[in-house]
Structure 1
Amino acid sequence: MKKYFTLMLIAMFGIIAISCDNRNDDVLVNDNDTYSVVLDINNVNFSYNAQDGYFISRSFTKPLYNTDVVLIYRKTGTASDGSPVWQSIPRTLYLNNGNELDYDFDFTKNDIMIYASGNYDISTTPQYLNTQTFRVVLVPASSGAKNANVDYSDYNSVITYFKIDDSKVKNL
């Protein structure tokens, strides 16, 4: 809960800072060391250890630049046309009987860790731990003076904004 409170404070500060800005929103900053990449982690099961709980760990083939940002989306199903439905993480799933399951992640320039935790014994709901598919999107942090037009929680908005060809997905 402390993480979410801290994130909320940071988000509120960011909104206040952006709303007080009088710069021209059309000014773009070129990021010449980053190109957007889409990576998949397909049909993977979470591992468990006492230190990390339930987790998935992957290393990048090349270290990220300091100006790169990692976005992660979990496949939650398919649409009627067969296209995947992606949900951004961190995410809390509200299940029956007041149970809550959380997906979260962190990253360094060398790797990512995706976590699953809950307010109950999540091993009793293996459908949320086994055969999971995640999409990892690497984007430049400095792609523009402001990214106000990007909804980072919406996979399709991110793909469109950064002009990513997601038909060339690589496995991680």
Structure 2
Amino acid sequence: MKNINKLILALFGLVIFQACEGPEGLQGIPGEPGINIVGTTFEVDVNFTSANDYSEVFDFTEPLVDGDAFLVYMLEESPVSQGTFAWRLVPQTFYLEEGILVYNFDYTINDFSIFLDNSPIDFSQLDPYYTTDLVFRAVVVPSDLIGARVDYTDYEATMKLLNISEDDFVRIESNK
């Protein structure tokens, strides 16, 4: 019985002293300057023409980090509700009388391109609605966040995950 009482007293003492805090420690060393865990964001205006081979190339303001993901969203007017717009993840496919039209993109660590895909279509015959004054947003998702449980097709959820506001988008021009 004496041993049990000593054991209970010892456990009680451990629990009580476990919750105590000591004095606050020294300030840590500063982190590296320029580290940004928020994704880099760009907004571009695109006009697909035969002169640019229905493709536009844009340079990143600084090279991508290996392992980061890159997403492109296209601003599209709702076919149901005129004047209502939504951001849609690219590639984006349209089924037209002329055939299937795909807006697509590719990227390297230094640049990215947005282009019309599916060559059986004569792009020069497309309605200007599909080729001129198009707006795209490109988002770099840091590799730390790639495994996050978010639906990247949902533009708003992606912006919330990356803590991005409308003011964070940098407008860049095509390098062609």
Which consecutive segments of 4 or more residues in structure 1 shift more than 3 A? none
Q: Identity of aligned pairs, percent?
A: 31
Which whole-Å CA distance do the structure 1 matches of 2:157 and 2:92 have between them?
18
TM-score (ref. length: structure 1): 0.67
Task: Indicate whether 1:36 and 2:59 are aligned.
Answer: no
Task: Indicate whether 1:96 and 2:97 are aligned.
Answer: yes
Using the TM superposition, give the Cα deviation of residue 47 of structure 1 relative to its aligned residue in structure 2, in angstroms: 4.3
**Secondary structure of the residue that 2:166 maps to in structure 1?**
coil
Output the aligned Cα RMSD: 2.5
Mean Cα displacement is larger for which, 52-61 or 63-72? Answer: 52-61
Partner of 2:130: 128
Which whole-Å CA distance do the structure 1 matches of 2:169 and 2:77 have between them?
18
Which whole-Å CA distance do the structure 1 matches of 2:71 and 2:77 have between them?
19
In structure 2, the CA distance between the partners of 1:34 and 1:66, relative to structure 1 (3 Å rule), is: farther
User: Residues 42-53 of structure 1: matches in 2 within 5 Å?
Assistant: 42=45, 44-48=46-50, 53=53
Q: For the Cα contact (< 8 Å) 2:50–2:124, is it kept in 1?
A: no
Partner of 1:150: 150
TM-score (ref. length: structure 2): 0.66
**Secondary structure of the residue that 1:167 maps to in structure 2?**
helix
Which whole-Å CA distance do the structure 2 matches of 1:63 and 1:40 have between them?
17
**Secondary structure of the residue that 1:104 maps to in structure 2?**
strand
Partner of 2:141: 139
Matched residues, number: 134
Partner of 1:76: 76
Which whole-Å CA distance do the structure 2 matches of 1:74 and 1:39 have between them?
12
- The one-letter code of the counterpart of 1:91 is Q
Which whole-Å CA distance do the structure 1 matches of 2:121 and 2:49 have between them?
17
Q: Which residues of structure 2 form unaligned runs of 5+?
A: 1-34
Query: Which protein shows a greater Rg?
Result: 2
- The one-letter code of the counterpart of 1:102 is V
In structure 2, the CA distance between the partners of 1:107 and 1:34, relative to structure 1 (3 Å rule), is: farther
Using the TM superposition, give the Cα deviation of residue 169 of structure 1 relative to its aligned residue in structure 2, in angstroms: 1.7
Q: For the Cα contact (< 8 Å) 2:75–2:136, is it kept in 1?
A: yes
Q: Which residues of structure 1 form unaligned runs of 5+?
A: 1-31
Partner of 2:15: none
Q: For the Cα contact (< 8 Å) 1:75–1:87, is it kept in 2?
A: yes
